[in-house]
Structure 1
Amino acid sequence: MKSIKPGRGPSAMGAVGSIFSAIFGIIWTIAAASMGAPVFFWLFGVVFVILGIVQAIYNFKNATGENRYSEFDIVDSTEEPDPLAQKLGLERENPESEAGEAGDFRYCPYCGARLGSGFTFCGKCGKRLPEEP
């Protein structure tokens, strides 16, 4: 299985945007309380603050962390069929033929990821693979 991870720049911008939404929530809550608004309006601001803090922590961790979270998981067609391709009748008869026969795969000795026979580096952990025998 392959995964797509968000870039560090977009994650950092998401953290900054989340901080701004938390500040907006604080201003909203203070303004609603000072105007004598019903409690519902105060809670709306508190929800903004909580969501802003949670999103800021998530995005900051993705921007600075060594092991980032995956936003999407992408699987090979040999692992899981594409439902849209099946519905439209575009599914290939033998999906394993795209990457060679089933015996042409090898596994990373460091993380166990399944790889094709021509790989020099692991697509999952990024380590250089030993030469094929």
Structure 2
Amino acid sequence: MGVVGSLAAVVFGIFWTILTFSITQDSPFPMVGTIFPLFGVVFVIIGIVQAVYHFKNATGEERMSLYDITDASEEGDPLNRKYGGERTAAEPTRTEAAGEKAFCPYCGQRVQADYQYCPACGKKV
């Protein structure tokens, strides 16, 4: 999704800049011919910055993802470290402390408290 949004912003910015320069080149108001094309340049810059950010996030070891389901020992969560929510493996979560295992930490499948293995992926929970 980040690649598509970045490309769309850059293409739109280039299209907007060319179009507004061609429309406003004979404008009797010199500021109009300068200000409107700058919106396109801003979109190009935003698209490039967004593309670099998403590329670094996708290829880095400590990436942030809304759908990332991994074990804390495999890959940490940078938001937990930033806001102090990092949990060690020895500390149980609220559901584990209550005797429930709500989801498999590997695939996200809902599991019951008495299951030792996930019914979807087969890994030990």
Q: TM-score, normalised by structure 2?
A: 0.47
Q: Which has the higher contact order (CA 8 A, sep 6+)?
A: 1
Whichever structure has more strand as a proportion of its residues is 1
